[in-house]
Structure 1
Amino acid sequence: MPTRYRARLQQQCCGRFVCTVDFESRCLLLYPEDQWQIIAEKLMSLSDTQPLERAMKRLLLGHAQECAMDKNGRLLIPASLRGYASLDKAAVLIGQLNKFELWNEQAWQQQLDDSMQALQDADLSSSPRLQDFAL
């Protein structure tokens, strides 16, 4: 975990996280424990009789694993999750406000390139949430 996040995360969640797979991309989602509780409650409200809802629960809850920062700010990610995201040597941690994404470095670069191209090619006015978005 980068140094700039450690103190805040120690205070927020005592350095405890839940890691699971992302169903849209081959990356991992790393939630501070308190943020995971919010997600878990939403998942538990999904139906076991609706195939898509059940699939979502199975995927996210079935792969969810607890992990904690050690005194050096490192996280031990289980091998099964590392395999899902093809994490071997170089990994990229991307902050997303309530969670982090953990990517294989090459996969992240490809995702970044694809996202940049999609945004450049898009008509942002077609999305009500993006039409007035400015930085």
Structure 2
Amino acid sequence: MVNFIGTYECKADAKGRFMMPAAIKKQLTPVMQDGFVIKRAVFQPCLELYPMDEWNKMMEKLNGLNRFNRKHNDFIRRFTAGVKTVEVDSNGRLLIPKDLITIAGITKEITVSSSVRILEIWDKQRYESAIDDSLDDFADLAEEVMGNDTTDLIS
């Protein structure tokens, strides 16, 4: 299990390839050989890059849903729409599939951001806008999400 750290800016070429930042490549080393799954995010206009072991854990959760329940079935279909397997090539580049580039509105400037066990891939301007838009609400969100936790977060 890898917990990613950092936010990095990259440039995509005309084919949708970008060089994985060295700091991220180093963090990916333990999971690089298994490959990755890339998909559209549920809540934001970005892409999510799952190491294969994290994707398999997510599929275990989805396999627990009842396919004869219409809402479950619709969720599974939408969650997995456009999912692709990808690999970091020998030059350290990742190719983003064209349909996912379009969905995420990715241009030449990309931001790769850690999101605990997955990476988010954003168009740079969309990322900056999402971060700026949420700054005002972050304190309230932090209190709501983490404020009721009675476990000691800092040892």
Do structure 1's residue 104 and structure 2's residue 91 form an aligned pair?
Answer: no
Find the counterpart in structure 2 of residue 14 from structure 1.
33
Q: Which residue of 2 aligns with 1:128?
A: 148
1:57-99 deviation digits (Å, cap 9, x = unpaired): 1122232100000112111111111111001211111111210
Counterpart of 1:92 in structure 2: which amino acid?
Answer: T
User: 1:37-48 alignment to 2 at 5 Å?
Assistant: 37-48=56-67
The 3 A distance-change label for structure 1 pair 73 and 49 is same
- Given the alignment, which residue of 46, 58, 65 partners 2:77? 58
The structure in which a higher percent of residues are strand is: 2
Of structures 1 and 2, the one scoring higher in RCO (CA 8 A, sep 6+) is 2
| CA offset digits 1:15-54 (Å, max 9, x no partner) | 6110011121111110011111111111122222333322
RMSD: 2.5
**Count of equivalent residues:** 134
Which residue of structure 2 aligns with residue 34 of structure 1?
53
SS in 1 for 2:45: coil
Distance 2:63 2:25 in 1: 30
Secondary structure of 2:120's counterpart equals: strand
Gap regions ≥5 residues in structure 2: 1-19
TM-score (norm 1): 0.84
More moved, 75-84 vs 4-13: 4-13
Q: 1:125–1:90: structure 2 CA closer, same or farther, 3 Å change rule?
A: closer
TM-score scaled by length of structure 2: 0.75
How far did 1:125 drift?
A: 5.8
Task: Tell me by how many angstroms 1:101 deviates.
Answer: 0.6
SS at match of 2:44: coil
Give ranges in structure 1 of 5+ residues lacking alignment. none
Question: What percent identity do the matched residue pairs reach?
Answer: 27
Task: Look up the SS of the partner of 1:75 in the other structure.
Answer: strand
2:54/2:117 contact within 8 Å kept: yes
CA distance in 1, matches of 2:36, 2:108: 21
Does residue 85 of the first structure (1) align with residue 104 of the second (2)?
Answer: yes
Query: Which stretches of structure 1, 4 residues or more, deviate above 3 A after TM superposition?
Result: 120-123
